[in-house]
Homo-oligomer: A and B are copies of this chain.
Amino acid sequence: MQDAAMATATIRDVARHAAVSVASASRALNGHASVAPGTRDRVIAAATALDYVPHLGARSLSTRRSNSIGVVLPDLFGEFFSEVIRGLDFAAHRRGLQLLLSNMHGATDETATAIRAMRGRVDGLIIMSPEADGAFLDRHLPLGLPTVVLNGRGGTTGQPGGHAGIGIDGRAGAAAAARHLVAQGCTRLAHVRGPHGNADADDRADAFRATVAALLPTPVRVFDGDFGEQSGIDAAEAIVAARGGGEVIDGIFCANDIMAIGCMSTLVRAGVSVPHDIAIVGFDDVPVAHYVTPGLTSLGVDMAALGERTLDLLVAAITQATPIAATPELLIPSLVVRASSARRPEDMTTHPGHREKGRLK
């Protein structure tokens, strides 16, 4: 506004303007202890006058600290991932860190590119890739870049070599879903699973099946899905058909909310009463779960907490403060009971909508 410093000023300009060396300018600007008050003031004044803004790229080249962390996420950029990003962003902001985002758009070799593109721009990496296994990560992670894997294959088969891990305990969640459905009086359960080979999908399917096996005589009927809405619709149609054929399923656990919503709307349209005829439980507890009618019972973790915890781990890895745990840390999702499964209103979680609002406060 004042004087139009067309070309952006560098620290040399500031130093010259204040008649000191760049070293002193740097010290003054960064609030180092040993700078004479007078010098400091002149430097600050010069900086203001020149509208000086430090060049962070240069700074990080020299300090070897970028104060930003890279986030690599899968192509399926759905509701769930948006929420995770929000949680991470919130936590990052509290620590004065920036987020460098990178979608691995489909192709696997692009993932490698995406990861490499982070080198020299971030202090650490957060990778969310339920498909990527330890070997893949080992092959593509730039050595020496601290990394935490969010909910990857590490969740079950052990930690990808040397990388910290954190995730949502899908097995615990699925088990809770099973117990809840049984408690609601369901006796014939179905599961709409995620893609085979996807760690989250496999975990949830296994645990659900196992828990039900311990509680009910009839085994779980499993439908294949891909975490997309259409999968849920397809499964619902098959379930309606099965009902006609005498196999009366009365409870469904879908591996994520989107499938559950597709499933639920199709059932309702087909004249099935939810939760009376069939109770439905989803997973992730994305915001939509609260908006659909009936409200969708789901399992989810506090995203803000997930974000904080993930960054804690990453920062620890960066500062080498703590040796990385051999096994990933798992957050237990909590069950939010809404109308889709509450056969008795008393069972509903109180204030089911409040979580969304307070989440990032």
Which of B68, B93, B288, B291 has a CB less than 8 Å from the CB of A100?
Answer: B68
Identify whether the interface residues of A are mostly helix, strand, loop, or mixed.
Answer: mixed
B57 to A121, Cβ gap below 8 A?
yes
Q: How far is the CA of A291 from the CA of B228 in the complex (A)?
A: 13
Q: Which residues of B contact A158 (CB under 8 A)?
A: none
Q: A180 near B: Cβ within 8 Å? A: no
B103 to A101, Cβ gap below 8 A?
no
Q: Which of A53, A79, A86 has the most CB of B within 10 A?
A: A53
Tell me the smallest distance from the CB of A97 to a CB of chain B, in Å: 10
Which of B86, B116, B229, B230 has a CB less than 8 Å from the CB of A53?
Answer: B116
Q: A293 near B: Cβ within 8 Å? A: yes
Tell me the smallest distance from the CB of A146 to a CB of chain B, in Å: 12
Additional A-B contact list (14), CB under 8 Å, known A82-B85, A82-B86, A90-B103:
A1-B138, A6-B144, A8-B143, A53-B116, A54-B119, A56-B118, A57-B57, A77-B86, A93-B105, A98-B102, A100-B100, A261-B291, A291-B292, A292-B292
B143 to A51, Cβ gap below 8 A?
yes
Tell me the smallest distance from the CB of A85 to a CB of chain B, in Å: 8
Q: A327 near B: Cβ within 8 Å? A: no
Q: A221 near B: Cβ within 8 Å? A: no
Q: A99 near B: Cβ within 8 Å? A: yes
Q: Which A residues form the contact surface with B (CB < 8 A)?
A: 1, 4-8, 51, 53-61, 66, 68, 77, 79, 82, 85-86, 89-90, 93, 98-103, 105, 116-121, 138-139, 142-144, 228-230, 261, 265, 287-288, 291-293, 353, 357, 360
Q: Which residues of B contact A229 (CB under 8 A)?
A: 353, 357
B120 to A54, Cβ gap below 8 A?
yes
With both beta carbons as reference points, the residue of chain B lying nearest to A145 in the complex is identified as B8
B5 to A143, Cβ gap below 8 A?
yes
Which of B79, B101, B105, B117 has a CB less than 8 Å from the CB of A56?
Answer: B117
Tell me the smallest distance from the CB of A109 to a CB of chain B, in Å: 14
Q: How far is the CA of A57 from the CA of B82 in the complex (A)?
A: 27
**Given A93-B103, A98-B101, A100-B68: A6 in contact with B77 (beta carbons within 8 A):** no
Q: Which residues of B contact A353 (CB under 8 A)?
A: 229
B120 to A55, Cβ gap below 8 A?
yes
Q: Which residues of B contact A82 (CB under 8 A)?
A: 82, 85-86
